[in-house]
Chains A and B, each alone.
Chain A
């Protein structure tokens, strides 16, 4: 346990906060704690398969772990998020605590409301039982997971395969840069005119732009009508040009990135990743296909794929080997791989996301949000992993998590996965089509 905590701490310090100072240690602690507990969950799964610890102690650990995670996820993190959001808004400085509590209560309210349309409520349990909380957290987490994996499934082949890379030559980049510099020059010359006009006005002792009172307004209208009209016109032109320069800058950055990727793909490492890209794309297509079938035929898998795969092999190819023995090991390996890759993928995505949108003001809030997302992600992946494990191991999870309709979760996951995959395909297609048109117009 301590190991994971230390690891979480290290990761946090090094990667996420490379450029900013950590102001509040509470944030750091919370993030590391969340991370540590999520990892222990996975550790427990692995122990489950390997049969390392005593059965009852495992059960106990599971329960404890779950309680703590749920507590953190549902109570502490939203509270702190509310607190930090409120402290960012400068108006409400005095009554920080009050507003934070208010925000938290609204959050809890929406949280309960979420449970209503779904067939999760079973009349046997009370309101604050663990099952209720897990069910809700599970719903949100599953939605998130499906969205992310849908998008990732489509984005992954798009990024890796060099088939999709547009051809960018140096001449293109130079042309675009020249346009950018020309725009900047135009902005500069217009600003010079404004500055000069301001200075002459100031030197002549005329009234500044801010009009004082009614008479002031009328006076400024009649006397300096020409000067200020010109100025506001120029100012509008400057604003438009600045917007244009921003766009050009972003396009240039995009082109540079593409060129870099082209160069990278020519190296050996690039070729290796290219090959992996093909492999992944096939896998992603297969997943989408399976999701469609699941929905269309309204079927939920009862046995896990590994056992089924082995059964098929045994039946068709007539190879005789001990099914139980092999299935155990293979499923263990697969589960391990899934866990590791999903953790790694999640951390990488979070880091990129964090760099893209962080600033020193809102960094605390973002870290907390990330911790929350991560916790939910892990909880729901435990739920879903249940599907890929052979039936003997399912018992303990079912025991611990109580009565939940697992089938429902799987269907929900498939639906959202399909929706997000399709929408991201559409989105990428549109983006891809737009870019070459823009370059043609140069």
Chain B
């Protein structure tokens, strides 16, 4: 049983948005009782059935790497974090629905994870004027999750949800909005659960089924691994 294949998904977001609670909910199906600061990175594992219910069903390990910290950290902290970013297969971007700045910072987070050897400068990331072409080339699936849904009063929900819909569109990703202290949102059969398993399926597909030989590298993984890795292929 321990010889299942594995897939690595990064969970990114600002401090205090609820990444650790989210990961705990996804992997243990229980609510995290005492959330505290994540120093460094904490990993958790979820067993996922790829193509559940079909004859091609296969089980995979999904490793959720929950990296702590903020986008505004010093370069030294960023370069320390960069060590967790290799061999990425998918990214979950987490933001806080009650805090607008955390959604804006998601652009910087994604750039940091995807461009591991280019320090993101302030130019690209003010209020959504960023370069969509960067994301068009991206082969790594993204998922946007908004947390603390219960803390938004009913009256403001609509405008918040439209805002996050734009956000998800920018990333060309699905979005889920939930409350990490309530497992009801991810109950089996709900639309959130369906989106989640679709996301995981996509990640597994990209990792194992769509090319021959080795893994598709990220944006500029060439520099890190020296010459000799495949360039990213375009599929038309």
Residues of A within 8 A of B (CB): 18-21, 177, 180-181, 184, 187-189, 191-196, 199-200, 242, 245-246, 248-250, 252-253, 256-257, 259-260, 355, 359-361
Q: Given the interface contacts A192-B2, A359-B16, A359-B37, does A187 sit within 8 Å of B76 by beta carbon?
A: no
Q: Which of B41, B42, B45, B74 has the most CB of A within 10 A?
A: B45
**Are A252 and B80 in contact, with the CB atoms below 8 A?**
yes
A199 to B, closest residue via Cβ: B47
**Are B45 and A191 in contact, with the CB atoms below 8 A?**
yes
**Are A245 and B76 in contact, with the CB atoms below 8 A?**
no
Q: In the bound complex, how far is the Cα of B39 from the Cα of A242, in angstroms?
A: 10
Find chain A residues with CB under 8 A from B16 CB. 359-361
Q: In the bound complex, how far is the Cα of B124 from the Cα of A253, in angstroms?
A: 26
**Are A18 and B47 in contact, with the CB atoms below 8 A?**
no
Q: Given the interface contacts A245-B40, A249-B39, does A256 sit within 8 Å of B47 by beta carbon?
A: no
Complex interface residues of chain B between 26 and 47 (CB less than 8 A to chain A): 27, 37, 39-47
Q: In the bound complex, how far is the Cα of B105 from the Cα of A252, in angstroms?
A: 25
Q: Given the interface contacts A195-B27, A360-B16, does A260 sit within 8 Å of B40 by beta carbon?
A: no
**Are A20 and B99 in contact, with the CB atoms below 8 A?**
yes
A249 to B, closest residue via Cβ: B40
Q: Which of B2, B40, B42, B105 has the most CB of A within 10 A?
A: B40
**Are B80 and A192 in contact, with the CB atoms below 8 A?**
no
**5 closest residue pairs by CB, A with B:** A249-B40, A256-B76, A257-B76, A253-B80, A360-B16
- Given A195-B47, A253-B77, A360-B99, 13 new contacts (CB under 8 A): A19-B71, A21-B98, A192-B61, A193-B2, A195-B45, A196-B1, A199-B47, A252-B83, A257-B74, A260-B74, A355-B72, A360-B15, A360-B96
Find chain A residues with CB under 8 A from B61 CB. 192, 195
**Are B45 and A192 in contact, with the CB atoms below 8 A?**
yes
**Are B80 and A256 in contact, with the CB atoms below 8 A?**
yes
Q: Given the interface contacts A19-B72, A256-B77, A257-B74, does A359 sit within 8 Å of B15 by beta carbon?
A: yes
11 pairs across A/B with beta carbons < 8 Å? A18-B72, A19-B101, A191-B45, A195-B27, A199-B47, A200-B1, A246-B40, A249-B39, A249-B80, A259-B76, A360-B99
Find chain B residues with CB under 8 A from A19 CB. 14-15, 70-72, 101-102, 105
B43 is contacted by which of A184, A249, A253, A260 (Cβ under 8 Å)? A184
Find chain B residues with CB under 8 A from A181 CB. 83
Find chain A residues with CB under 8 A from B96 CB. 360
Q: In the bound complex, how far is the Cα of B81 from the Cα of A253, in angstroms?
A: 8
Q: Does B179 contact A (CB under 8 A)?
A: no
Find chain B residues with CB under 8 A from A200 CB. 1
Contact with A along B92-115 (1 / 0, CB 8 A): 000010111110010000000000
Q: Which of B14, B41, B70 has the most CB of A within 10 A?
A: B41
Q: Given the interface contacts A195-B46, A246-B40, does A188 sit within 8 Å of B80 by beta carbon?
A: no
Q: For residue B55, give the distance in angstroms from its CB to the closest CB of chain A.
A: 20
| Interface size class of chain B, counting residues whose CB lies under 8 Å from the partner chain | 35 or more
Q: For residue A228, give the distance in angstroms from its CB to the closest CB of chain B.
A: 16
Q: Does B229 contact A (CB under 8 A)?
A: no
Prevailing SS type, chain B contact patch: mixed
Residues of B within 8 A of A (CB): 1-2, 4, 14-16, 27, 37, 39-47, 61, 63, 70-72, 74-77, 79-80, 83-84, 96, 98-102, 105
Q: In the bound complex, how far is the Cα of B102 from the Cα of A359, in angstroms?
A: 13
**Are A249 and B41 in contact, with the CB atoms below 8 A?**
yes
Q: In the bound complex, how far is the Cα of B27 from the Cα of A245, in angstroms?
A: 20
Q: In the bound complex, how far is the Cα of B61 from the Cα of A189, in angstroms?
A: 10
Find chain B residues with CB under 8 A from A184 CB. 41, 43, 84
Q: For residue B169, give the distance in angstroms from its CB to the closest CB of chain A.
A: 23
**Are A21 and B2 in contact, with the CB atoms below 8 A?**
no
Q: For residue B122, give the distance in angstroms from its CB to the closest CB of chain A.
A: 12
Q: Given the interface contacts A193-B2, A199-B47, does A242 sit within 8 Å of B80 by beta carbon?
A: no
Find chain A residues with CB under 8 A from B40 CB. 245-246, 248-250
A245 is contacted by which of B41, B63, B72 (Cβ under 8 Å)? B41
Q: Given the interface contacts A20-B101, A192-B61, does A177 sit within 8 Å of B83 by beta carbon?
A: yes
Q: In the bound complex, how far is the Cα of B4 from the Cα of A214, in angstroms?
A: 38
Q: In the bound complex, how far is the Cα of B60 from the Cα of A196, in angstroms?
A: 11
**Are B39 and A250 in contact, with the CB atoms below 8 A?**
yes
**Are A188 and B47 in contact, with the CB atoms below 8 A?**
no
Find chain A residues with CB under 8 A from B100 CB. 21
Q: In the bound complex, how far is the Cα of B2 from the Cα of A199, in angstroms?
A: 12
**Are B77 and A188 in contact, with the CB atoms below 8 A?**
no
A23 to B, closest residue via Cβ: B98
Find chain A residues with CB under 8 A from B79 CB. 256
Find chain A residues with CB under 8 A from B47 CB. 195-196, 199
Find chain A residues with CB under 8 A from B99 CB. 20-21, 360
Find chain B residues with CB under 8 A from A355 CB. 72
Find chain B residues with CB under 8 A from A187 CB. 43
Q: For residue A33, give the distance in angstroms from its CB to the closest CB of chain B.
A: 25
Q: For residue B125, give the distance in angstroms from its CB to the closest CB of chain A.
A: 13
A185 to B, closest residue via Cβ: B43
Q: For residue B68, give the distance in angstroms from its CB to the closest CB of chain A.
A: 9
Q: In the bound complex, how far is the Cα of B101 from the Cα of A355, in angstroms?
A: 16
Find chain A residues with CB under 8 A from B43 CB. 184, 187-188, 191
**Are B75 and A260 in contact, with the CB atoms below 8 A?**
yes
A177 to B, closest residue via Cβ: B83
Find chain A residues with CB under 8 A from B84 CB. 184
Q: For residue A347, give the distance in angstroms from its CB to the closest CB of chain B.
A: 17
Find chain B residues with CB under 8 A from A253 CB. 76-77, 80
Q: For residue A15, give the distance in angstroms from its CB to the closest CB of chain B.
A: 11
Q: For residue A262, give the distance in angstroms from its CB to the closest CB of chain B.
A: 11
B59 to A, closest residue via Cβ: A199
Q: Which of B4, B74, B100 has the most CB of A within 10 A?
A: B74
Q: In the bound complex, how far is the Cα of B42 from the Cα of A223, in angstroms?
A: 33
Q: In the bound complex, how far is the Cα of B43 from the Cα of A359, in angstroms?
A: 22
Q: In the bound complex, how far is the Cα of B44 from the Cα of A249, in angstroms?
A: 17
Find chain A residues with CB under 8 A from B83 CB. 177, 180-181, 252
A195 to B, closest residue via Cβ: B45
Find chain A residues with CB under 8 A from B76 CB. 253, 256-257, 259-260
**Are B45 and A188 in contact, with the CB atoms below 8 A?**
yes
Q: For residue A308, give the distance in angstroms from its CB to the closest CB of chain B.
A: 43
